[in-house]
């Protein structure tokens, strides 16, 4: 492989990881869903689940994505918080554009081992579960007041973030908001508070490895059913964060951001193979 190709693959992986990381801390957005849209989901779960099976190859693939994800989480925590507080509609349109930009490639990936009509069933079920879950979560946001968390609580928050990263359509940020913990975790990330980062990171790593192994096994045993279930979660998450449409100025600028997000993800998808 030429040096230029190595550099482009690294930059592509880093930028995709950056967006996945930002999606992980953005309310209502699933990092796992974004990974699916970039065509990386199956490869990431396989790389994590079998990290020692082909260690060098897995590290070369996963390192730029993990690096980008880490930078996205740490560097953009406060920025994302600010934009979601003041420009929620515009940011949601940007994320929807990013997620839709590679949708044709996602469908091709889902059908690479053939298509059966029965695959639509897990897709619909996952889609409905995502919509219902988001409705219940949104109804419960902020009903539990913030409290000083203990060590086990922080580990649990990390587990929730890991699940949101691995399982498409589940927004860890929304769940943390429901628990009154979103601000605590976000501040800990933004301020690089070791007392919060270590237990949260421990829970995150544990859940990511456990769920990655499970999902990797499902891909190997029942690929079509699994991928269409994942696709259902992704489609549900796109609908769930859609903020509606209006002729107000904020919606007109949102359309421009949607187009920009679409073009960015479409361009990045060229380097997903």
Q: Which pLDDT tens digit goes with each residue over 185-231?
A: 877 877 778 888 899 889 988 888 888 888 888 888 898 998 898 78
Tokens 């995502």 -> residue: 130
| C-alpha distances in Å from residue 22, one per residue of 104, 143, 205 | 23, 25, 18
Look at the pTM and tell me if it is higher than 0.85.
no
In this structure, the number of other CB atoms found within 10 A of the CB of residue 210 comes to 16
Place 141 in a pLDDT band, splitting at 50, 70 and 90: very low
How do residues 95-135 score in pLDDT, each as one tens digit? 788 777 767 777 877 888 889 999 999 999 988 887 876 67
For residue 139, pLDDT over 60 is answered with: no
User: Residue 146: left if φ>0, alpha if ψ -120 to 50, beta else—which one?
Assistant: beta
* 130 close to 237: Cβ distance less than 8 angstroms: yes
Encode pLDDT of 67-84 as tens digits: 998 888 877 777 876 777
User: At a CB cut-off of 8 Å and minimum separation 6, what does 6 contact?
Assistant: none
Return the closest-CA partner of residue 28 out of 129, 137, 163: 137
Q: Domain boundaries in the chain?
A: 3-271
């Amino acid at each position: 492989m030429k040096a230029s190709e190595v550099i482009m693959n690294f930059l592509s992986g880093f930028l995709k990881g950056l967006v996945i990381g930002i999606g992980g801390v953005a309310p209502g957005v699933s990092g796992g869903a974004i990974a699916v849209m970039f065509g990386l989901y199956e490869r990431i779960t396989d790389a994590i689940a079998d990290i020692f099976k082909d260690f060098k190859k897995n590290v070369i693939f996963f390192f730029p994505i993990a690096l980008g994800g880490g930078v996205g989480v740490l560097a953009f925590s406060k920025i994302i918080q600010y934009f979601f507080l003041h420009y929620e509609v515009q940011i949601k349109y940007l994320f929807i554009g990013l997620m839709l930009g590679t949708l044709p490639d996602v469908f091709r990936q889902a059908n690479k081992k053939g298509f059966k009509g029965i695959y639509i069933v897990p897709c619909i079920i996952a889609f409905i579960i995502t919509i219902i879950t988001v409705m219940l979560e949104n109804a419960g946001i902020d009903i539990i007041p913030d409290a000083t968390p203990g060590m086990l609580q922080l580990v649990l928050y990390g587990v929730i973030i890991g699940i949101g990263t691995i399982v498409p359509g589940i927004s860890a940020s929304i769940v943390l908001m429901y628990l009154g913990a979103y601000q605590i975790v976000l501040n800990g990330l933004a301020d690089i508070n070791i007392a919060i980062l270590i237990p949260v990171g421990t829970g995150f790593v544990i859940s990511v490895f456990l769920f990655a192994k499970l999902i990797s096994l499902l891909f190997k045993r029942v690929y079509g059913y699994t991928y269409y279930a994942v696709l259902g979660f992704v489609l549900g998450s796109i609908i769930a964060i859609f903020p509606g449409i209006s002729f107000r100025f904020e919606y007109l600028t949102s359309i421009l951001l949607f187009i920009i997000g679409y073009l960015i993800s479409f361009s990045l998808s060229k380097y997903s193979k």
